[in-house]
Amino acid sequence: MWHYALKRFLLIIPTLIGILLVFFSLTQCVPGGPIDQALAEMRGRTKGAEVSSSAQSSSLDASKVSNRAELEHEQIEFLRQQFGFDKPLHIQFFVWLKKMFSFDFGESYFRHQKVVEIFANKMPVSMSLGITSFFLVYLVCIPLGIARAVKQGSAFDATASTIVLLAYSIPGFVFGMLLLIVFSGGAFVQWFPLRGLTSDNFETLSFGKKIIDFSWHLVLPVLAYTLTGFAVLTSQTRNLFLEEMNQQYVQTARAKGLSEKAVLFGHIFRNAMIIIISGIPAGFVGMFFAGSLLIETMFSLDGLGLLMFESVMKRDYPIVIAELFVFSLVGLSMQIVSDLTLVAIDPRISFEKSSG
């Protein structure tokens, strides 16, 4: 098994190289690159200065107008050198590879700050949402799905099915808007804060009150963030347990006189959980990085989702490629951890033959 795990970890390297190669190729095709973005900012500042000076003078300096093209050419060459675009494409790509695999993410093109420092500032928001949502979904959905399977056809199952169906049909950002309108002073009550993860006086609060304040701010974003995942995992758990409950080995266990509790947790639970555990890596990574943009924008949370969107729009490639690299690395690593967990739960599973 450890031989298989080692091979899988080694395969992460060519996989990441392929992902970076695809992204690098896309950057060569997408219009409006970093140089265009930087020039647009420079032109905006120059235009503002010219408008300001024109209020005091009726005409612009003719020498400035005639030298503008030459100045812009010099700016382009300077930016090409600054961004490293003056080197051949294959050299640029290998420079990227070296930096990524040494975890040297460089400096943002436009934020004038190291990418690692930017991540450190944004990560607490995404971690707060991601970790809380991840554990909330799994701690609630698995017991609820099992209860629905055990009480199949009951009023409880019908009510839970209706709620889950409604939860699945409502997009997270729509649910977030409803939560803000109802519970944040939009039209009804103001029980929860409208924006941010902390109050204005957060630094003056005691440690215990800081935890309460932070948790209180987290309630509505987490609810909006977990809605769809909550519905999907609950239904998946129910269906898996129902499928296992109809298997022959369950009938045999009951015929031997085992109690329903022993059959459920001694036989059905282990087999049904195998498939659920296999989805943990995607769920873990997804709770951190997928679908967070609208939620972060709606609740004024400055996290990684909003950072990724702004960086893509600004063509701030050091941030984009660093996020892509980290997300891919975490996702691939979690998939291997999932395989190892499956073997720990069910020793009958073996990857040695398939990998050899």
Ordered DSSP codes for 301-316:
---HHHHHHHHHHHT-
Task: State the helix-helix crossing angle for 280-289 and 304-314, rounded to 10 degrees.
Answer: 70
Last residue of a domain, one of 70, 104, 138: 104
In a domain, 257, yes or no: yes
129 and 189 share one domain: yes
In a domain, 12, yes or no: no
Q: For position 351, what pLDDT does the model report? A: 59
59 and 90 share one domain: yes
Instruction: State how many domains the chain has.
Output: 2
56 and 178 share one domain: no
Are 332 and 324 in contact by the 8 Å Cβ rule? The answer is no
- Domain residues for the domain of 59 are 32-104
Which residue would you say has higher pLDDT here, 83 or 46? 83
Are 180 and 194 in contact by the 8 Å Cβ rule? The answer is yes
| 246-269-273 Cα angle (round to 5) | 105
41 and 168 share one domain: no
In a domain, 204, yes or no: yes
Distance CA 264, CA 270 (A): 9
In a domain, 150, yes or no: yes
334 and 187 share one domain: yes
In a domain, 3, yes or no: no
Six-digit token string for 32: 């409006």
Task: Look up residue 265 and give its DSSP letter.
Answer: I
In a domain, 248, yes or no: yes
Q: Is pLDDT of 149 > 80? A: yes
251 and 284 share one domain: yes
55 and 158 share one domain: no
In a domain, 216, yes or no: yes
293 and 192 share one domain: yes
Six-digit token string for 261: 């509790």
186 and 325 share one domain: yes
306 and 237 share one domain: yes
Q: Give the pLDDT mean for 318-325.
A: 88
161 and 293 share one domain: yes
Q: Is pLDDT of 184 > 50? A: yes
Residue 216 sits in a domain whose CATH number is 1.10.3720.10
Q: Give the pLDDT mean for 325-342.
A: 80
Last residue of a domain, one of 79, 104, 129: 104
With cut-offs at 50, 70 and 90, classify the pLDDT of residue 60.
very low
pLDDT tens digit sequence for 78-122? 777 777 777 888 888 888 888 888 888 888 888 888 999 998 888
Share of residues in the chain with pLDDT > 70 (%): 78
Which residue would you say has higher pLDDT here, 160 or 53? 160
pLDDT tens digit sequence for 196-245? 777 778 888 888 888 888 888 888 888 887 776 777 788 888 888 888 88
Q: For position 107, what pLDDT does the model report? A: 86
pLDDT tens digit sequence for 233-255? 888 888 888 888 878 887 787 78
With cut-offs at 50, 70 and 90, classify the pLDDT of residue 59.
very low
Which residue would you say has higher pLDDT here, 352 or 279? 279
Last residue of a domain, one of 44, 75, 104: 104
120 and 74 share one domain: no
In a domain, 241, yes or no: yes
